[in-house]
């Protein structure tokens, strides 16, 4: 995956975390990102703060500085423009995903009948189905 693609994905993940929490400080964003990626993807803390600053410069998030003793803590909150950008990216992602699944799934199911499909692929499809149910059923 190219550097620009990774940067774009990371920026939208950061925006997603910020929107979910409404207001969150940088280190907590980093910890949540590590938890979400299960430590498979470890951007440096410097990369994270550089991208958070880019999001602020693009007016997608606003920063609020506070102090705890001598320690500076920066909180991030999504702007309306940030929420709109997040929704736009989600719409494009889901559109591409729907098209991709519509093309791939019938072929996978046909190949499954021949025994050529590794069941791990089918398990991943089932995981997608479970995630959709979990996050849309209100449970």
Q: Indicate the SS3 state at residue 18.
A: helix
pLDDT in tens, 56-103: 999 999 999 999 899 999 999 999 999 999 999 999 999 999 999 999
* 3-78: CATH topology: Arc Repressor Mutant, subunit A (1.10.10)
Is the pLDDT at 139 greater than 70? The verdict is no
Q: Look at the pTM and tell me if it is higher than 0.85.
A: no
Structure tokens belonging to residue 139: 């449970």
CA distance 74 to 97: 35
Is 7 within 8 Å of 48 (Cβ atoms)? no
Domain boundaries, the chain: 3-78, 84-136
CA distance 66 to 59: 20
pLDDT in tens, 37-46: 776 777 888 9
Residues composing the chain: 139
């Amino acid at each position: 995956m190219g550097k620009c693609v990774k940067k774009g994905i990371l920026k939208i993940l950061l925006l997603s975390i910020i929107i979910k929490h409404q207001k969150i400080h940088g280190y907590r964003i980093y910890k949540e990102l590590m938890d979400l990626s299960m430590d498979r993807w470890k951007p440096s803390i410097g990369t994270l703060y550089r991208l958070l600053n880019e999001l602020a410069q693009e007016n997608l998030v606003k920063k609020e500085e506070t102090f705890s003793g001598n320690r500076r803590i920066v909180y991030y909150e999504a702007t309306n423009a940030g929420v709109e950008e997040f929704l736009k990216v989600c719409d494009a992602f889901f559109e591409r995903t729907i098209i991709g699944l519509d093309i791939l799934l019938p072929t996978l199911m046909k190949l499954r009948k021949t025994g050529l499909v590794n069941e791990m692929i089918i398990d991943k499809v089932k995981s997608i189905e479970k995630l959709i149910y979990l996050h849309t059923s209100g449970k």
